[in-house]
Structure 1
């Protein structure tokens, strides 16, 4: 019995390690997508537009730094919205948040050579960027580990308001856009990083995730058909 227990624990630890690897790989691909979208130069996601705008106002700090500061703010927000439901384990979300910040700065450095002038090329680069961003998100969802504070905050609002999750996410993203636009107008005299690409990003990312889900399911079903010992999920 002891041997069986040890074996089970080893398998569980191996599974958890694998999920963390998938999660971190997902974060890296996600930040690569964000970096490519920034290089496309025709608009980025609401969260990225806010942190990117802040780097223009305070160039001595990196976008990864502002991204992590935003995550800290969202963690505090989750506590303020539902303090009684707040758990210490939510602080674990700062681990992937820190990884995201580091990977974001790294990928912005790696992609700094990209300079595109032709508009159609910018649109194509944005489409590739959104594909990478969505695949990163898909891997993070599949890993099913801790929520980063931004997602935790949205979920906390969902619990508190009882509104549809999708509606809350839309309101949250629009709020970030408004804040980003206001900061840009106040400190820079113009709205930065919010353009047609922001809308394209909102549309494509969801569609890409649907595509990845479909392809993954097909591959899983095909593998189950080829191996009768596997049970279809």
Structure 2
């Protein structure tokens, strides 16, 4: 790893986190539900005085703790260092929520439009984050840990982790709010489309993807 490679790829990681944070903020404002990884923090922000960014940081810390439970002796600094992008990500989410405060969708089509834009931003951010090959976010880290421990494909374990997070968010809402809050059709649309949009971008932007990976 050269200094030039490190600067480029960490810059790409930062850019990816910025896009992903903006995506979460837009989805929060649209109120149709966030992506699966942000569904529990979104519900938590509606049930407590904490912001979605603050709950995101706490949630990421919990996930990293779960990685330790799963990996035990195999838990290392690469897992612990996930705290850095987690804090950065959570802080950015709150900054974008504040920056976008003037956006107040009143019609359903406006909410849906914001949700679609948020999915596009999320997909592009994921493309940069994953292909930067630097630090792994906790959401991917727990899936990787479970895949390693139970010898399962990462992709299949990632889908199970996302589904578990959505179910957890639904249960939190039903138990503490006695209703379905924070998880709506936008969560389902995000779960169904984000991975497909990432694949579409990689297929139709091969030169850019190769540049990101180089």
Aligned residue in 1 for 2:44: 54
Change (3 A) 1:45 1:219: closer
Note the residue ranges of structure 1 that are not aligned, 5 or more in a row.
Answer: 1-8, 224-232
Aligned residue in 2 for 1:176: 165
Change (3 A) 1:46 1:219: closer
- Could you give the per-residue CA deviations for residues 86-131 of structure 1, whole angstroms, max 9, x where no partner exists? 1123222111111101111101111122111222222222111110
How many residues are matched?
A: 212
Aligned partners of 2:202 and 2:209 also within 8 Å: no
User: 2:36 and 2:191 mapped to 1: Cα distance?
Assistant: 9
Instruction: Determine if the alignment matches structure 1 residue 68 to structure 2 residue 57.
Output: yes
Instruction: Determine if the alignment matches structure 1 residue 30 to structure 2 residue 7.
Output: no
User: 2:185 and 2:118 mapped to 1: Cα distance?
Assistant: 15
Instruction: Determine if the alignment matches structure 1 residue 202 to structure 2 residue 199.
Output: no
Change (3 A) 1:176 1:220: closer
Aligned partners of 2:16 and 2:126 also within 8 Å: yes
Following TM superposition, by how much is the alpha carbon of 1:219 offset from its aligned partner in structure 2, in angstroms? 5.6
Matches within 5 A, 1:1-233: 12-59=2-49, 61-218=50-207
- Could you give the per-residue CA deviations for residues 54-111 of structure 1, whole angstroms, max 9, x where no partner exists? 112211x221111111111111111111212111232221111111011111011111
Name the TM-score, length of structure 2 as normaliser.
0.91
Decide which moves more: 18-27 or 147-156: 147-156
User: 1:112 and 1:206 mapped to 2: Cα distance?
Assistant: 28
- Could you give the per-residue CA deviations for residues 182-219 of structure 1, whole angstroms, max 9, x where no partner exists? 11112111111211111111122112212221232156
Change (3 A) 1:219 1:78: closer
User: 1:134 and 1:181 mapped to 2: Cα distance?
Assistant: 23
Secondary structure, in 3 states, of the residue corresponding to 1:189?
A: coil
Rg larger in structure: 1
Name the TM-score, length of structure 1 as normaliser.
0.84
Structure 1 stretches of 4+ with a deviation exceeding 6 A read: none
